[in-house]
Amino acid sequence: MPTGYADGAKVYREAYGRGLKPDPELWVDEWADEYMRIPRDTGAAEPGKYRTARTPYAREPMRCLSPAHPCKRVITMVASQLMKTQIALNWIGALIHMAPSNILTLLPSLALAKRVSARIGKTIAATPELKSRVAASRSRDARNTMDTKEFEGGTLYATTAGSASNLAELAARYIYGDEIDRWDVDVDEEGDPVDLAETRGSTFGRNAKFYFSSSPTIKGASRIADLFETSDQRYYYVPCPTCGHKQVLEWERLLYSADFQTVHYKCSAPDCDVLIEEHHKGEMLAQGEWRSHAKGDGVTVGFHLNALYAPLGWTSWADLAKQFEKAKRAQDRGDLEPMQVFYN
């Protein structure tokens, strides 16, 4: 008697077997350290096993994004290429594995949505715990497309925030909005897209979770800055390697020579004023901590981080100094855009 199963039956039996096992009770950061893999074919600078220790400041935002955390909304107002997209990938992965439900991912444009969807797809393929739960890209029923990915317990949708129909057609427990400062101010004359997006999670009540991220754009007209203002406004404090004083890294305290060969950060402690060399940054980041600067609305946590915190091997303090001086020369000529880009 044949003992094999048809493909559909085999998939069903495997999924059913996994369903009998309890989900791992992990925070998102713990899940990422255990399971997440960064695929090589995305062009990532550091592919392979994900390590939160590489960017210690990312641990607390991921913990707040965990379904077990009581906050409803997480805001990251951070410089480009620091943490916000990888945090989203880790969050999405942890949700698919541990707390599956519909996930809505919104980007400023359809082209960007497709690129992010492709990156999510590559991440899923590189991470065994996700690959086994998401419909294969070449499955016979073609369920897995560029903007939708079905998995056990829900569907991931990646689309543009620029269409009211995209924000009104489905219910989603989890919503991720990226680069929201580049979203339209009013979608099809139906209102603010952030508000419209959050209505998609209204049926889930306190179980819904929203994550909005962006680099800030124009001061006074920044949606991410407005959301950050409603939060508890957390800043990352790192210790001086000499005196131990914990402080927020600020651009005004970065000192450098005309040829950029010597770059230091001046400690803010009044009785120290030591010039910190960048090679200490790894240790400083590892010992850092987030501190709230406001009470907030009680349901929103916000994180602010600038490029001075980039880990060693990423954008260096010398590189930032060069970028600033170049932007300043352009500003002196009347071109303000490079300076705006620098501060973003």
In degrees and rounded to multiples of 5, residue 188 shows phi and psi of 50, 35
Evaluate if residue 74 carries a pLDDT over 70.
yes
281 and 297 in a common domain: no
125 and 79 in a common domain: yes
- Cβ–Cβ < 8 Å for 197, 161: yes
207 and 65 in a common domain: yes
CA dist list (Å): 123 to 30, 32, 126, 148:
17, 12, 5, 15
Range of the domain at 322: 314-344
**pLDDT, tens only, 179-220:** 999 987 766 666 788 888 899 899 999 999 999 999 988 777
**pLDDT, tens only, 129-173:** 999 999 876 544 444 444 889 999 999 999 888 765 666 678 999
Q: Which two tokens stand for residue 257?
A: 């020579």
- Gap between the Cα atoms of 306 and 95, Å rounded: 28
- Gap between the Cα atoms of 236 and 289, Å rounded: 6
- Gap between the Cα atoms of 126 and 147, Å rounded: 19
Residue type, 66: S
Among 12-16, 109-113, 203-207, whose mean pLDDT is lowest? 12-16
pLDDT, the chain, mean: 88
Determine the 3-state secondary structure of 177 from DSSP.
Answer: strand
Residue 17, domain member (yes or no): no
74 and 152 in a common domain: yes
Which element (helix H / strand E) includes 212? Answer: strand 209-214
pLDDT score recorded for residue 146: 47
Domain total for the chain? 3
Q: How confident is the model at residue 5 (pLDDT cuts 50, 70, 90)?
A: very low
Residue 66, domain member (yes or no): yes
pLDDT score recorded for residue 165: 66
Residue 12, domain member (yes or no): no
**pLDDT, tens only, 303-325:** 999 999 999 999 999 999 999 99
241 and 218 in a common domain: no
- Gap between the Cα atoms of 123 and 133, Å rounded: 13
pLDDT score recorded for residue 186: 64
285 and 297 in a common domain: no
Please tell me what DSSP assigns to residue 134.
B
DSSP line for 4-63: ---HHHHHHHHHHHHHTSPPP---HHHHHHHH-EE-GGGT-SS-EE--GGGSGGGHHHHH
213 and 189 in a common domain: yes
**pLDDT, tens only, 77-109:** 999 889 899 999 999 999 999 999 999 999 999
Residue type, 224: I
Residue 110, domain member (yes or no): yes
In degrees and rounded to multiples of 5, residue 296 shows phi and psi of 75, -170
CA atoms within 13 A on the CB side of 110: 4
